[in-house]
């Protein structure tokens, strides 16, 4: 603050952004910016100015070590403005930026030595906080996940040419990601209009990069040129890896996969972008199941960092390794999981949705549930998330999950998702779901309240009942956390670190909580099991496993940081 002023200092400290040299010069953080070749000569010139008495560095140092002077009005205006801006960006779950402002506010009226003591006290307080433990844990987990992925790819030949089956938004997103990272890709579909949609999606994404100044028009055109749209299988004969991204229907997928396999060169990898369907089941249609695995991208592909690489019963380790390498080449974080309905992320997500459906059945207002869960730290509430995912997608995935885990994920009678699916209220894609959608000025879907949706749910479940925020949070989080523990126990995911990072990267699990397993560690497994037992009347989704109860009795945790 003494160097660049309170406003700039709070923005630098709380934002945590890297600064370009020109910006640092503009803000007064540095005295000069010179070319790298002139650094030594410029430093020598500066020292000479000091020796010649032209630069009084000691007077400047004394000024910077002294307390600053502000009137009460000036102080109030500066810090009220800073708190408002930083508080809005940081949010209620991340206290460090506001604590930093508090330290600055105290420190500017102190000498530098006293101000440093004030800063140390604030830092220690934050370093010992649960949020710091969660965020440090995420950093360590992220390093472990990357290290694990690197072990798979050691000595693996990179994918030099890829393909995606099925254009449209998802296929176009995969094609864009591959082309933008330098791997040429064939995009195949049976309909020209679908190919046009896929190319338009990729073109739009390249265009946004140009608008933001991150890519030149020439580079964008070169990138788009790496995508080859085709209607026939002929162009697939030379590719190293194919990602199937057709409709989420096992019979259609098996038919397309079998047709594609016959066109590929020996040793080429076939991967499915299925979000829930068993890889082992899909592999039954193939002659070489060892060359087949799951490669589950998340939507929107260009933004979501996670890719689940799914190992079927007959998938070879060479296939896993090459698919992990391709995911890394696309700039993604791959996590290898074993096969089961929903794999890791969706297997954990659908119990969360089941908790939501049970709340609606008991009379909860879905808009109130959304607000509570968003305040708790989720990027969007469950109703809005279902609209974004697509009610039709959720409906089909729900059937897969119910068939795979009937004791926990099956349900009797019609729920809101069933009713909306029957009425073709598919969410954002159809313009209506739990909410209504209309395009804003930028053409993006804008969420609006829907009296029709409210009426449909009331006709199913009766009048609204009021629930305390704590009960809503518990009923939503307990099934998700228990299912995450089950995935670890059943070796669907290899480590607690990978499980937690999968949820943070895949579904936006609140980072300040560190992931589902870390969340239970922080609460204490005994306290979590006690909380779950209060809701055991809601069914098996709320029953902790025997292994969880044993860990609770022994006071063990999932993570050992």
Parallel/antiparallel/unpaired status of strands 162-165 and 333-338: unpaired
259, two tokens: 């047709």
CA 277 to CA 294: how far, in whole Å?
A: 9
Contacts of 436 (CB under 8 A, 6+ apart): 447, 448, 449, 450, 452, 453
Residue 461 appears among annotated catalytic residues: no
Query: Closest Cα partner for 515 from 355, 345, 361?
Result: 345
Parallel/antiparallel/unpaired status of strands 241-244 and 436-439: unpaired
Question: Exposed e or buried b for every residue in 184-218, given b needs 16+ CB within 10 A?
Answer: bbbbbbeeeebbebbbebbbebbeebeeeeebeee
CA 195 to CA 208: how far, in whole Å?
A: 20
> Which listed residue (93, 161, 288, 296) is catalytic?
296
End-to-end CA distance of the chain: give it in Å, rounded: 35
Cα torsion through 442, 443, 449, 455, rounded to 10: 180
498, two tokens: 């990978």
CA 416 to CA 431: how far, in whole Å?
A: 17
CA 387 to CA 427: how far, in whole Å?
A: 4
Query: Closest Cα partner for 323 from 293, 278, 297?
Result: 293
CA 213 to CA 216: how far, in whole Å?
A: 7
417, two tokens: 């998702």
Helix pair 546-553, 525-533: axis angle to 10 deg: 130
DSSP label at residue 228: E
281 contacts 311 by C-beta, under 8 angstroms: no
224 contacts 182 by C-beta, under 8 angstroms: no
Question: Exposed e or buried b for every residue in 223-255, given b needs 16+ CB within 10 A?
Answer: bbebbebeeebebbeebbbbbbbbebebeebbe
Catalytic center residues: 296
């Amino acid at each position: 603050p003494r160097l660049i002023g309170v406003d700039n200092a709070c923005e630098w400290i709380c934002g945590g952004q890297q600064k370009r040299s020109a910006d640092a010069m503009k803000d007064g953080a540095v005295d000069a910016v010179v070319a790298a070749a002139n650094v030594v000569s410029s430093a020598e010139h500066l020292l000479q100015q000091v020796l010649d008495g032209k630069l009084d560095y000691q007077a400047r140092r004394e000024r910077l070590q002294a307390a600053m002077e502000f009137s009460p009005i000036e102080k109030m205006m500066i810090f009220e403005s800073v708190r408002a801006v930083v508080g809005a960006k940081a949010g209620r779950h991340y206290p460090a930026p506001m604590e930093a402002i508090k330290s600055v506010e105290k420190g500017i009226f102190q000498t530098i030595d006293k101000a440093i003591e004030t800063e140390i006290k604030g830092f220690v307080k934050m370093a010992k906080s649960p949020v710091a433990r969660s965020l440090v844990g995420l950093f360590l987990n992220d390093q472990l996940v990357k290290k694990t992925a690197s072990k798979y790819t050691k000595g693996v030949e990179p994918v030099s040419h890829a393909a995606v089956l099925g254009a449209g938004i998802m296929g176009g997103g995969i094609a864009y990601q591959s082309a933008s990272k330098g791997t040429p890709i064939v995009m195949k579909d049976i309909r020209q209009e679908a190919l046009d949609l896929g190319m338009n999606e990729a073109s739009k994404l390249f265009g946004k990069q140009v608008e933001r100044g991150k890519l030149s028009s020439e580079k964008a055109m070169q990138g788009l040129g790496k995508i080859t749209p085709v209607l026939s299988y002929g162009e697939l004969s030379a590719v190293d890896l194919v990602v199937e991204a057709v409709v989420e229907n096992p019979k259609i997928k098996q038919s397309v996969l079998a047709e594609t396999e016959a066109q590929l060169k020996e040793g080429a990898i076939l991967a499915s972008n299925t979000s829930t369907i068993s890889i082992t089941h899909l592999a039954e249609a193939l002659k070489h199941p060892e060359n087949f695995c799951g490669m589950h991208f998340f939507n929107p592909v260009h933004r979501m960092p996670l890719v689940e690489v799914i190992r079927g019963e007959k998938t070879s380790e060479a296939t896993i390794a090459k698919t992990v390498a391709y995911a890394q080449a696309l700039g993604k974080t791959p996590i290898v999981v074993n096969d089961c309905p929903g794999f890791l992320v969706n297997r954990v997500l659908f119990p969360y949705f089941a908790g939501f459906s049970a709340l609606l059945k008991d009379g909860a207002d879905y808009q109130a549930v959304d607000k509570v869960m968003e305040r708790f730290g989720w990027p969007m509430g469950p109703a809005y998330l279902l609209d974004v995912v697509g009610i039709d997608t959720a409906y089909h995935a729900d059937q897969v999950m119910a068939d795979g885990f009937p004791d926990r994920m099956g349900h009797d009678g019609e729920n809101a998702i069933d009713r909306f699916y029957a009425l073709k209220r598919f969410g954002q894609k159809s313009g209506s779901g739990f909410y209504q959608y209309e395009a804003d000025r930028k053409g993006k879907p804008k969420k609006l309240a829907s009296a029709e949706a409210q009426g449909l749910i009331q006709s199913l479940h009766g009048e609204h009942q009021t629930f305390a925020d704590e009960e809503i949070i518990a009923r939503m989080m307990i099934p998700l956390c228990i299912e995450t523990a089950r995935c670890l126990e059943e070796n669907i995911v290899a480590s607690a670190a990978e499980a937690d990072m999968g949820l943070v990267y895949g579904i936006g699990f609140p980072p300040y909580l560190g992931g589902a397993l870390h969340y239970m560690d922080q609460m204490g497994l005994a306290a979590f099991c006690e909380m779950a037992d209060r809701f055991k009347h809601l069914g098996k989704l709320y029953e902790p496993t025997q292994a969880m109860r044993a860990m609770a009795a022994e006071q063990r945790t999932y993570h050992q940081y």
